[in-house]
Amino acid sequence: MTTVSNSPLDDELVARLEDEISSSASPLFGASPVARAHRRGWLVRRVLLAADVLGLSGAFLLAEFAAPSSGGLNAVGQKEEWLLFLLVLPLWVVAARLYGLYARDEERTDNSTIDDFGGVFHLVTIGTCVTFFAGSLSGTVDPNRLKMTIFWLAAVAFMSLGRVLGRIACRRSASYLQSTIVVGSGGVAELIARKVRRHPEYGLQLVGVIDDAIDVHTGTEDAAGPPRFSSLATAPLLARTLGVERVIVALPSAERERVVHLIRELRELNVQIDVVPFFHEALSPGMDIHSIEGLPLLGLRPARLSRSSLLFKRAMDLTFSALGVLLLAPLFCLVAVAIRLDSRGPVFFRQVRMGRKGETFRILKFRTMQVDADARRAELRHLSKHAGNGDDHFLLKIAGDPRVTRVGRFLRRYSLDELPQLLNVCTGAMSMVGPRPLPLDEDSFVTEWARHRLDLKPGVTGPWQVLGRDDIPFEEMVELDYRYVTSWSLGRDLKLTLQTIPVLVRGGAV
């Protein structure tokens, strides 16, 4: 391999890495590359397999006790049914593997049980139907409809729950971490590195950033993050020496030949390679990949919603918001009493926000601040986390804001102050899932193409809520909303709704 460096420091680093490749452990990382390779895949596959086996066995056990075999002429005994189940169990595992239910966690950083649910549901449904018809025709198992129904429902529930618990256990293990390097140009590498550090739940341990568009001073550790390098030639060497499992490549289209050459080199090292599309700002998750004579194409659907989609989304909003208001009415009363006892002022906070197609509305929240909060904005602006950020200087987000009341601090931590927005959903001003509802002064900074973020109603939750709330810079939040609106789907709404639950349970800083 020919190595070309952009600086003498990188030349020294290349020589150092070449010396360390033959050693059993790398002092830069502290462990053998061979021992560290693909640990996540090894761990998660076995944990999920165990969860599936236990889930299916638990479902079969429940079905046996809830609807025991009738003992008729067309049914074998209970012991024989257990034996048949154990003999067939490996086929369930093989089928799950064919559905791709064990490989995605190693490949995808954001894979979750929510993404697996469709596959689990389909697998259990098909498997139960095949078992029922095979048993009916052969007389080897009791074709008891009640038993099959119980097994079907329990298997879907137990397998899904087992996968949730299994993934929680995996993410607490050091083996779940994937050593990762980012290779980029023009500042994109730094953007990706910042996102990786902001989301430890992805399980990526950033061990190096290579950006040939910046002037770095190092092959040594920077207190602010991982080592920075300026030569693409170091990428394969870093991957080999440090036992890297994932490489994220983000290079401009002008570097096409270098990108292709680099990816081909990295593929020889048996690492997961993620390629950031050249025009990632205009793309969205969930795109379709199709081909013309073997040439892969990224498919972007027209950015429009049919009338039936809007009607269906509205029906879902009305259903869930009405149920939410009814079920949470006692909690509303408790929160209202706590607010009145804690500080003087109204229970609700009302503020004008920008809604769909430029129509304003008054958002409802539980009051979490003292009544003079607005009057104190100017004196506290220097404490804002965005005060030194030229792009987000207009945002006022203060860690440990002194205007927040004691009860308000608790409500904000678990987003309970947002619950009255269910009433906004009922009246049609908001949706359960949608772009972030911005105050008018912040909305004035949203221009041009980004105005399409309001082609849908603002939401009680959305991608900004799931991915970091106030920690996301304003420009990135606007892009998230734009991508959500231009690639809307019912499945995406359901996924975001389910992803919001653990975010609320964990709570956040106030």
Residue type, 304: R
What secondary structure letter does DSSP report for 361?
A: E
Mean per-residue pLDDT for 106-119? 86
Lowest mean pLDDT among 108-117, 165-174, 189-198, 207-216: 207-216
Which residues, 6 or more positions from 510, have their beta carbon under 8 angstroms from its beta carbon? 399, 400, 401, 404, 409, 412, 413
Checking if the pLDDT of 459 tops 90, the result is yes
What secondary structure letter does DSSP report for 214?
A: S
- 166, 168, 169, 173 alpha-carbon torsion, rounded to 10°: 130
Residue type, 237: L
Residue type, 145: R
Q: What is the pLDDT of residues 269-288, one digit of tens each?
A: 888 888 887 776 666 666 77
Integer Cα distance of 397 and 198 in angstroms? 17
Integer Cα distance of 293 and 35 in angstroms? 40
CA-to-CA dists, residue 160 to 53, 60, 90, angstroms? 12, 15, 18
Bridge-based pairing of strands 246-250 and 178-184 is parallel
List of domains in the chain = 39-171 (no CATH), 177-278 (3.40.50.720), 307-506 (no CATH)
Closest by CA to 246, choosing from 115, 105, 99, 98, is: 105
Integer Cα distance of 102 and 48 in angstroms? 7
Checking if the pLDDT of 385 tops 70, the result is no
0.95 exceeded by pTM: no
**Angle at the Cα of 353 (from 447 to 431), degrees rounded to 5?**
95
Predicted pLDDT at 470: 63
Which residues, 6 or more positions from 378, have their beta carbon under 8 angstroms from its beta carbon? none
Predicted pLDDT at 131: 84
Residue 172 CB: number of other CB atoms within 10 A?
8
Predicted pLDDT at 24: 36
Closest by CA to 395, choosing from 346, 431, 436, 361, is: 436
Predicted pLDDT at 25: 41
Integer Cα distance of 57 and 353 in angstroms? 52
Model confidence at 465, pLDDT cuts 50, 70, 90, reads confident
Checking if the pLDDT of 8 tops 60, the result is no
